[in-house]
Amino acid sequence: MIVVSASRATERLGPVLGSMIATLPVSTGPIYVFLAIDHGPLFISDSARMGVVAVVATVGFVAMHALIAQRHGTFLSWLGAISAWFVVAYLMQLREWSFFEGCALFAITFVAGIWGLRRYVVDIKPPPLPRVRFDLALRSCLVAGVVIATTIASNALGPSTTGTLATYPVVFTSLVLILQPRCGGPFTSALLVNSLKGLIGFGAGLATIHLAAARMNSAAALLLALAVAVSWNYGLFRLRARPRQKVEHSLR
C-alpha cells in the first residue's frame, strides 16, 4: 500500500515533486521494521552502515538509465539500469567499509552524480496517464520480492548483504517499467535524476539508523531516521518553491 500510493502520486506530480516522494523510504523503511523485529537494534545499525555505502549503487542505476533512455526503449533502459545497480552493489561488497569511509564515498558520489547528470534535468509535463491493470500487481510483486530476499539474506548472509538488498530501488524500478512506455525516456530520466538530491536525505536517514540504533531502541531509531528523511525532502521542496513565490509576488 505504501509503495503503490507513493508511486501513484509520483506519476501525477511531475519530475520535481514526484522526485521528493520517490526518494522517501517507502520500501526500505518497512524492510527495516521487519529486520528490527527479527534481529534487534544492533543488527539494523550494522545493516544501515552498509546501506549508506549501497545507496551509491542507486546513483549508478540513475546514471545508466539516463544515458540509455534518451535513445532507447523501456526494456534496454531497465536492463542497463538494473545491471549497473547490481555491478556497483557487488563491488561495494568486496571490502568492509567503516562508517566514516561510507559517508565520504556517499558524499563524493552524489556530488559527482548531481553535477554530471544535470543536463538530463528537464522540465517536461507528463501526458495524461491511463490506468493500466498490471501496474499495481507489478509494484506489489517487486516489493514482496525485495522483502522476501532481504529477510532470507538477514538470516543467511548477515547485516552487510542485508543492508545492501534493503536499498534496492523498488520505486525507481516500478517508475521505469510503468512510466517510460507512457511518458517517454526523457521524462522518466528527468524524474530519476531530480531524485538524486532527495536521496541524500535517504542516505542521511540510514546514517541516523546506524548511529541511533546502537544507542536507543529500534522504534525510536527508525522514527528518528524517518524524520530526518522527511525533513530533508521538505526542505528541498521549500527551496524549490521559494523562487516561484518570488516571481508570483513580483508579478502582483
Length of the chain, in residues: 252
Model confidence pLDDT, tens digit, residues 88-142: 999 998 888 999 999 999 999 999 999 999 888 876 665 555 555 566 676 677 7
pLDDT at residue 148, rounded to an integer: 76
**Confidence tier at 203 by pLDDT (50, 70, 90):** very high
Model confidence pLDDT, tens digit, residues 27-79: 788 888 888 888 888 999 999 999 999 999 999 999 999 999 988 988 999 99
Mean pLDDT of 206-211: 94
Model confidence pLDDT, tens digit, residues 209-239: 999 988 888 889 999 999 999 899 888 888 8
pLDDT at 1 exceeding the cut of 80: no
Q: Which residues contact 114 (CB under 8 A, 6 or more apart)?
A: 196, 197
Distances from the Cα of 157 to the Cα of 91, 154, 168, angstroms: 16, 6, 16
When comparing pLDDT for 15 and 8, which is higher?
8
pTM: 0.82
Residue 106 to residue 111: CA distance in whole angstroms: 9
Q: How many CB atoms lie within 10 A of CB 173?
A: 21
pLDDT at residue 136, rounded to an integer: 65
pLDDT at residue 35, rounded to an integer: 87
Provide the residue ranges of all domains of the chain, joining segments of one domain with +. Answer: 2-251
